[in-house]
């Protein structure tokens, strides 16, 4: 019996056209609550950027944010994993040597980009709040739990991801979180580790967990679930890796699968 459902947001739960959650999610949420099943949002966004989609529901939900660096329950921070100031500076040094790679620091007080960052990064205020423009990222006085790198070259794997992995070894958790983003966290932080922590808190097993994702940073999340669903819009190698597939995010694939596999079966 499913007791915990974890879903990624962008590319998974959120419609790529309307930029909204499924219209029937509140109905699904109510039916899950009646059965004592927990619905958890797991995102690369920070808490404010993730919670904005859920309205009043967010105050009652659990969230895994910043690709596993933070866990929230009912708006309260339960767990956080930060990167030391020394390691933040070390990462900034590495990124500075990669052409067309621009860093963003995600911290407890806010998110920081340089004043000369690409125009696209200024749109990140929709994902992270507050977003602050600064002259020097090395001078930030905040607890940093994620360093994100923007790369629009079209070859993010070879251009930014692989060089950073080679230089850092096992010192960090590094994921491609989208076609233009690489996220770097502490080794104790990814979506799978965070989901395992939530499972322990709720006394729920992997076999009692369902998860949804579409991109490579969702692999740890999906690996921690007995019922791992990849969206139809996910990458082909992701779909080949897992036994279950949901309709695309633009077809409300998450709520359709929850109804079919959980609510209708457990009624």
In which residue ranges of the chain is CATH 3.30.1240.10 found? 85-185
Per-residue pLDDT of 206-241, as tens digits, reads 999 999 999 999 999 999 999 999 999 999 999 999
Nearest-angstrom CA–CA distance, 142 and 140: 6
Q: Answer whether 217's CB lies under 8 Å from 177's CB.
A: yes
Q: Answer whether 191's CB lies under 8 Å from 67's CB.
A: yes
Q: State residue 221's pLDDT score.
A: 98
Nearest-angstrom CA–CA distance, 117 and 109: 20
Q: Answer whether 255's CB lies under 8 Å from 25's CB.
A: yes
The pLDDT mean for the chain works out to 94
Q: Tell me, yes or no, if the pTM score tops 0.85.
A: yes
Q: State residue 117's pLDDT score.
A: 79
Nearest-angstrom CA–CA distance, 118 and 133: 12
Q: Is 202 exposed, middle or buried (0-12, 13-18, 19+ CB in 10 A)?
A: middle
Q: Which two tokens stand for residue 128?
A: 């992270």
Per-residue pLDDT of 34-80, as tens digits, reads 999 999 999 999 999 999 999 999 999 999 999 999 999 999 999 99
Q: State residue 267's pLDDT score.
A: 60
In which residue ranges of the chain is CATH 3.40.50.1000 found? 4-80+189-266
Q: Which two tokens stand for residue 11?
A: 């590319």
Q: Answer whether 72's CB lies under 8 Å from 62's CB.
A: yes
- CATH T-level assignment (fold) for domain 85-185: 3.30.1240
* pLDDT level of residue 179 (50, 70, 90 thresholds): confident
* pLDDT level of residue 27 (50, 70, 90 thresholds): very high
* Largest Cα–Cα separation, the chain: 57
In terms of Cα–Cα distance, which of 259, 254, 249 is closest to 14? 249
- CATH T-level assignment (fold) for domain 4-80+189-266: Rossmann fold (3.40.50)
């Amino acid at each position: 019996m499913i007791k915990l459902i974890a879903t990624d947001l962008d590319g998974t739960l959120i419609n790529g056209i309307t930029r909204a959650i499924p219209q029937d999610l509140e109905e699904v949420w109510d039916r899950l609550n009646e059965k004592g099943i927990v619905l958890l949002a797991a995102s690369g966004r920070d808490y404010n950027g993730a919670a904005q989609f859920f309205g009043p529901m967010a105050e009652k939900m659990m969230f895994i944010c910043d690709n596993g660096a933070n866990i929230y329950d009912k708006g309260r921070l339960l767990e956080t994993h930060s990167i030391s100031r020394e390691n933040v500076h070390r990462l900034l040094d590495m990124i500075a040597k990669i052409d067309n790679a621009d860093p963003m620091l995600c911290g407890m007080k806010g998110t920081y980009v340089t004043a000369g960052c690409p125009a696209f990064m200024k749109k990140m205020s929709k994902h992270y709040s507050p977003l602050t423009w600064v002259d020097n990222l090395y001078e930030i006085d905040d607890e940093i739990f994620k360093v994100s790198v923007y790369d629009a070259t079209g070859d993010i794997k070879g251009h930014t991801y692989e060089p950073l992995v080679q230089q850092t070894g096992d010192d960090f958790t590094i994921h491609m979180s989208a076609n233009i983003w690489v996220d770097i966290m502490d080794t104790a932080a990814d979506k799978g580790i965070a989901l395992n922590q939530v499972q322990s808190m709720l006394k729920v097993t992997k076999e009692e967990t369902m998860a949804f994702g579409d991109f490579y940073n969702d692999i740890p999340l999906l690996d921690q679930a007995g019922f791992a669903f990849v969206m139809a819009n996910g990458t082909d190698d992701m779909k080949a890796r897992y036994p279950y597939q949901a309709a695309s995010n633009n077809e409300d694939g998450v709520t359709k699968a929850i109804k079919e596999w959980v609510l209708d079966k457990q009624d």
